[in-house]
Chains A and B, each alone.
Chain A
Amino acid sequence: MPGLEDLYREIILDHYRSPRNRGELESPPAVRVEGFNPLCGDEIVVTIDVEDDVLADIKIAGTGCSISQSSASLMSAAVKGKSLAEVRELIGTFRQMMSIHESTLPSDGAGGGSSEAAEPQAIDIDALGELAALQGVVKFPVRIKCATLSWNTLTQGLDEAGVPA
Chain B
Amino acid sequence: MAELTTHTGGGPALDAATLAKDFPLLSRKVNGRPITYLDSAASSQRPSAVLDAMREYDETTHANVHRGVYGIAEEATRRFEAARTNVGRFIGAPAPSREVVFTKNATEALNLVAHSWGRSNLERGDVVVLTEMEHHANIVPWHMLAAERGIELRWLPIDDDGQLVLDDLDAVLDGAKVLAVTCMSNVLGTLNPVAELAARAHAAGALVVADACQAVPHLPTDVSALGVDLLAFSAHKMLGPTGIGVLWGREELLQSMPPFLGGGEMILDVRKDGFTPNDIPWRFEAGTPPITEAVGLGVAVDYLRAVGMDAVRAHEISLTSYALDALRDRFGADIRIFGPQAAEDRGGVLSFAFRDVHPHDISQILDEYGVCVRAGHHCAKPLMRRLGVNATARASFALYNDERDVDTLVEALDAAGKFFG
Contact = CB atoms under 8 A, between A and B. Distances in A.
Interface of A: 1, 4, 7-8, 13, 39-43, 63-67, 69, 140, 143, 146
Contact of B419 (A8, A65, A67, A140): A8
B358 interface: yes
Given A1-B31, A8-B419, A63-B390, A41 B365 contact: no
Interface string B353-389: 0000011110011001000000111000100100000
Contacts of A13: 420
A67 B360 contact: yes
B391 interface: yes
28 contacts: A1-B31, A4-B364, A4-B368, A4-B419, A13-B420, A39-B376, A40-B360, A40-B375, A40-B377, A40-B391, A41-B377, A41-B381, A42-B390, A42-B391, A43-B390, A63-B358, A63-B390, A64-B358, A64-B390, A65-B359, A65-B360, A65-B361, A66-B358, A66-B361, A67-B361, A143-B360, A143-B364, A146-B360
Interface residues of B, number: 17
Contacts of A64: 358, 390
A43 B361 CA distance: 16
Which of A8, A41, A63: most chain B CB closer than 10 A? A41
Interface of B: 31, 358-361, 364-365, 368, 375-377, 381, 384, 390-391, 419-420
B29 to A, nearest CB: 11
B42 to A, nearest CB: 13
A7 B359 CA distance: 16
A8 B419 CA distance: 10
Majority SS of interface residues in chain B?
Answer: helix
Nearest to A62: B390
B375 to A, nearest CB: 7
Nearest to B380: A41
Nearest 3 A-B pairs (CB), nearest first? A65-B358, A65-B360, A41-B377
Nearest to A67: B360
B363 to A, nearest CB: 9
Nearest to B356: A63
Nearest to B368: A4
A5 B374 CA distance: 22
Contacts of A4: 364-365, 368, 419
A8 B391 CA distance: 20
A77 to B, nearest CB: 21
A121 to B, nearest CB: 29
A140 B375 CA distance: 15
A41 B376 contact: yes
Contact of B420 (A7, A63, A66): A66
B368 A40 contact: no
A66 B363 CA distance: 12
Given A40-B391, A64-B358, A140 B377 contact: no
B229 to A, nearest CB: 32
A64 B360 CA distance: 9
A82 B377 CA distance: 36
Nearest to B392: A41
Contacts of A67: 360-361
B379 to A, nearest CB: 10
A34 to B, nearest CB: 13
Nearest to A8: B419
B31 to A, nearest CB: 6
Contacts of B376: 39-41
Contacts of A63: 358, 390
A143 B376 CA distance: 13
Contacts of A39: 376
Contacts of A42: 390-391
Nearest to B390: A41
A127 to B, nearest CB: 28
Which of A40, A63, A64: most chain B CB closer than 10 A? A40
A69 B390 CA distance: 14
Contacts of A66: 358, 360-361, 420
B365 to A, nearest CB: 7
A141 to B, nearest CB: 12
Contacts of B360: 40, 65-67, 143, 146
A12 to B, nearest CB: 11
Contacts of B390: 40-43, 63-64
A36 to B, nearest CB: 10
Nearest to A4: B368
Contacts of A69: 358
Nearest to B360: A65
Contacts of A43: 390
Given A64-B358, A65-B360, 18 more contacts: A1-B31, A4-B419, A40-B359, A40-B375, A40-B376, A41-B377, A41-B390, A42-B391, A43-B390, A63-B390, A65-B358, A65-B359, A65-B361, A66-B358, A66-B360, A140-B364, A143-B364, A146-B360
Nearest to B375: A40
A86 B297 CA distance: 58
A4 to B, nearest CB: 6
B391 A41 contact: yes
Given A8-B419, A65-B358, A66-B358, A41 B364 contact: no
Contacts of B384: 41
